[in-house]
Amino acid sequence: MKNYIWIAITLFCFFDAAGQDKKWWRATVVYQIYPQSFKDADGDGIGDLKGITQKIDYLHQLGVETIWINPFYKSPGLDNGYDIADYLAIDPQYGTMADFDALLAGLKKRKMHLIMDMVLNHTSSEHEWFRQGSSSRQSPFHDFYIWQKGNRDSLPNNWPSIFGGSAWTWNEQTREYYLHMFLDKQPDLNWDNPLVRQSLYKMMRFWLDKGVDGFRLDAISLISKNKSFPPMDLSKGIFAALNGNVNNGPHLHRYLHEMNDQVLRKYNVFTVGEVYTDKDSAWQYVAPARNEISAIHFFDGLWLSGKTTGIPFKNTMDGWNTALSGKQSWNTVILTNHDYPRAVSRIGNDSMYRVESAKMLGAFLLTYRGTPFIFQGEELGMTNYPFNNISEIKDVTAHTGFAALQQQGMSDSAAFVVIAMTTRDNARTPIQWDASPNAGFTTAEKPWLSVNPDFTNINAASQQADTMSVLHFYARLIALRKANPVLIYGDFEDKSPKDPSLYVYTRTLKTKQWQIVLNMTATEVDYTVPTTGKLVLSSYGKKGQNDAPSVLRPYEARIYRLH
């Protein structure tokens, strides 16, 4: 009898009465930290681990329960840490292992989680594996990477690098080409070699045994390659060409299942994959029965812009939600990250309605179905940087993209307009903590990347003092989500699929139902207030409860509890 009781208790802990899986990461709110730009504690102009530790209470007071930190491993930094030279060492610019341990302890003290960015597709060319493997074909590390014989003047095939140019680079010491889907200093690992996989699994266990709560798996859908190396048809675009050859390769899901079986399932972790896939195939990564990873980030939402709000926005989000609702799969909700311009500038309206559109996007982020990811500064409504020329931009992909546009015959000025709007540096400018020099990010004379000049108007200190700020609205949304499981586990239904201005949807859990109404335009929109509903929260504050309730103001967000 006792055994049956314990089984019942266990099931209750993980599933509610509606059968909802209650793994911790489904209910959490994730905050992404780009460490170079978060907080500089030692005054060298670069953010560091001690700086993150100093700001744990800011995140805790906001209501954040999980942080995801971009790579801070030892690295030459050619791709901002995604070129790892030593998986088990902290890069000195970010601090020491003792600093990491102190950060982790501070998070655990507040019952917060940490997920680390893990790059398993490639290493830096300065990694010891590649140093030895590229020196001789007889090296035991040579087969850790992907090689093709040939001669210096003839590439193995037409495979392109995602960062531009060929995916093949000549190595004079072994007189072979090695494969790299990103920079030539980021050689791809050979996952077909069992020693590679076991070495990576051992490294992952090192961090998990320290107490890390999971990983964001960078470019994870690229780890399996088609070793027949067929030529690609690039006429339909690079990602279509990569599919089946480099992306979603022949052994990908077998390797993910093996990683889960040998590492992940032994810990209570959250894994989210950076995956290039269509929505109809996405479930294969995340369906619980497949035992691969917890969730994925899909890119369609990150590619949305102001020109694609309204029906295109809803079609994108609803399509992915529908695809991932089946087979007990889970979704993530993300509007920007370190690789994309800021959401309020890209999707919202940062000129006339910055505060209003930032709040509206926050309401979507924290009431939609899935685990929400907030990118640092998003809770402040931080905007894109007003770049004036290409020399101000450090993003390596921006420079390769600028050169490519020039080669296509575009003028320098026209090419720069495109790059300024799309460069990853828009999201990477330092966090604006206050109105002091360099926005309180650093005491150095010059930070690694310039602070947005709007920091005197947009900063955390001023918003903490303003109860109508974007920051306070995010805190209210997070608290509302935590207190009402319907906003986490509730079923989703779009009530306005054909409306070009309003996004109206319900979340329903057993007898509870909530309705979220978002005006995605810069104009007032008529709206029929639900007769059985009670307004719980409006992005316009108390005025939204009294003035013209049948009219939604520009970018207004309302949340109703229905009876």
Residue tagged active-site, from 213, 218, 292, 395: 218
Dist CA 364 CA 557 (whole Å): 8
Q: How many CA atoms lie within 13 A of 37 on its CB side?
A: 24
Other C-beta atoms lying within 10 Å of the C-beta of residue 312: 14
Residue tagged active-site, from 213, 274, 318, 425: 274
Other C-beta atoms lying within 10 Å of the C-beta of residue 61: 11
Dist CA 103 CA 207 (whole Å): 14
Please, where are the H alpha helices in 425-497?
Answer: 425-428, 460-464, 470-483, 486-489
Residue of 248, 250, 228, 230 lying closest to 239 (CA atoms): 248
Could you tell me the maximum CA-CA distance found in the chain, to the nearest angstrom? Answer: 78
Residue of 119, 287, 284, 111 lying closest to 213 (CA atoms): 111
SS3 84: coil
Point out which residues pair with 414 in neighbouring strands.
Answer: none
Q: Which two tokens stand for residue 487?
A: 């906003």
Between the alpha carbon of residue 5 and those of residues 23, 280, 410, the distances in Å are 20, 40, 71
Dist CA 63 CA 38 (whole Å): 18
- Pair 381, 362: CB distance under 8 Å: no
Dist CA 290 CA 5 (whole Å): 28
Residue of 429, 373, 378, 475 lying closest to 58 (CA atoms): 475
- Pair 217, 271: CB distance under 8 Å: yes
Let me know if 280 is a catalytic residue: no
- Ramachandran area for residue 99 (φ above 0: left; ψ -120 to 50: alpha; else beta): alpha
Residue whose tokens read 């903590």: 433
Let me know if 101 is a catalytic residue: no
Please, where are the H alpha helices in 74-217?
Answer: 97-109, 128-133, 194-210
Decide: residue 388, CB within 10 A, 0-12 exposed, 13-18 middle, 19+ buried. exposed
Other C-beta atoms lying within 10 Å of the C-beta of residue 491: 15
Point out which residues pair with 503 in neighbouring strands.
Answer: 518
Catalytic residues: 218, 274
